[in-house]
Amino acid sequence: MPDVVITGIGCVTPIGTGVQGLWAGLKAQRSAVRVITRFDPTPFRSRIAAEIDDFAASDHLPAKAARRLDRFSQLGVVASLLAMQDAEIAIERENRDRVGVMMGSALGGVAQAEAQAATYMQHGLRHVEPTLATSVFGGAVSCNIAIQFGVTGPNSTNAMSCASGAIAIGDAFHAIRSGRADVMLAGGAEAPLSPLAFGSFTLIRAMSTRNDDPVRASRPFDKGRDGFVMGEAAAVLVLERRDRAESRGAPIYAEVCGYALTNDAYHMSAPKPGGREAARAVQLALADAAVAPHEVEYVNAHGSSTPLNDSTETLAIKDVFGDHARRLTVSGTKGYYGHPLGASGAIEAAICALGMRRGWLPPTVNLTEPDPACDLDYLADGGRVASPACAVSNSFGFGGVNAALVFRSA
């Protein structure tokens, strides 16, 4: 089976756009969370989110093409453009059938659907955007990316809640390793900031209500955490056969070497107590990578900043790594950019790859008083100069979804 490596990273996030923007945002060690400006949040218990305030699709795409896409597809297509530019790949006519796209999005075009439903109710069908039918389904993002580059290989978008981006990367990794493709664009895109979609999460009391202190609201593994903070973002990785990447002299961020997926089969919003299935996802991913637990040096945790998730993830890490868990560097990076649902796993995979290549691991922003139930080395201040040889990225989601990715240094 061929080795699979990451040769390009593209992202549009609340802390920065592109590789350099993301890296600068991480090094700044500041949260992008604020009071929502996209709509009036006063009816809701939670009134904060991580918005992208400097994004215009027309800066990257022809105006007509940008107008054809709703926001979640705009984010995904632009992230894929940035990733391909970063990888310096030219799509030639003869290899387009060996290039595919795998994406993840929990909610797809729900914000566009919500807005157009209001237009329909107020003004009738004649005023509804004619692109509505082709823009709101989840698969629109991977199909629009394929159209952008004219690539005809494997293509899908999964909607497996907050693990979607990681699942897309794992599926793309397996597509290359099994010989179905040579290059894959893989990641996640999410644009969920609309009143109904946002409000539905406040109904289940899943989100932080630290409205008077938004920059400190997302605080993974901290004793004072009170829920996640919704965000919007997209991240896309270029995955490539190692031999192909080396033959064209491409810089390599990291090798993707393992992936696994399990389900708690327990509850739609709460993790299974003890974290057994989350732990099993990591164990299976390590087995897929032929990596022993003691070889792992860094874990980018899901760290959603919810009371149950963070403590359960801690138990799962201890289950997998035993005594070695105390020697791991672990950080949860959602304190920076909130929780962009299906895009979060792709952002965190990008952060793992960047950190491994550049020799610095980002801290867990806003971790000021560690929860006694979260007692690992969660890297509270300043980040850490380190070049881990092997790293794991965890992504967990509603419905009990558990995904784990394993990376080796290039």
CA atoms of 57 and 76, how far apart (whole Å): 10
CA 256 distance to own-chain centroid: 15
The tokens of 337 are what?
């950019």
List 60, 257, 339, 390, catalytic entry: 339
**Strand, coil or helix: 210:** coil
- The reply to whether 339 belongs to the active site is yes
List Cβ neighbours of 336 (8 Å cut-off, separation of 6 or more): 14, 15, 25, 26, 29, 30, 31, 32, 218, 362, 365
Which member of 162, 257, 352, 374 is catalytic?
A: 162
Cβ contact 341:162 at 8 Å: yes
Name the packing angle between helices 140-149 and 71-87 (round to 10°): 40
Q: H or E stretch including 70?
A: none
Which residue bears the tokens 């801290």? Answer: 363
The DSSP symbol for 218 reads -
Q: Virtual CA dihedral for 21, 24, 25, 27, nearest 10 degrees?
A: 160
| CA distances to 71, 74, 94, 165, 294 from 55, in Å | 10, 10, 34, 21, 42
Tokens linked to 115 = 């807005």
Those residues with Cβ within 8 angstroms of residue 51's Cβ, 6 or more apart along the chain or in another chain: 14, 32, 34, 36, 37, 38, 193, 231, 232
> Active site residue: 302, 352, 374, 390, which one?
302
Contact present, 211 and 42 (Cβ < 8 Å): no
Q: How far is CA 267 from CA 61, 140, 271, 324, 346, in A?
A: 41, 29, 7, 30, 24
Beta bridge partners of 230: 339
SS3 78: helix
**Using an 8 Å Cβ cutoff, are 237 and 8 in contact?**
yes
Residue 174 catalytic? no
φ, ψ (nearest 5 deg) of residue 99: -120, 130
Give the number of other Cβ atoms within 10 Å of residue 59's Cβ.
10
How many CB atoms lie under 10 A from the CB of residue 294? 13
Q: Active site includes 302?
A: yes
Catalytic positions, please? Answer: 162, 302, 339
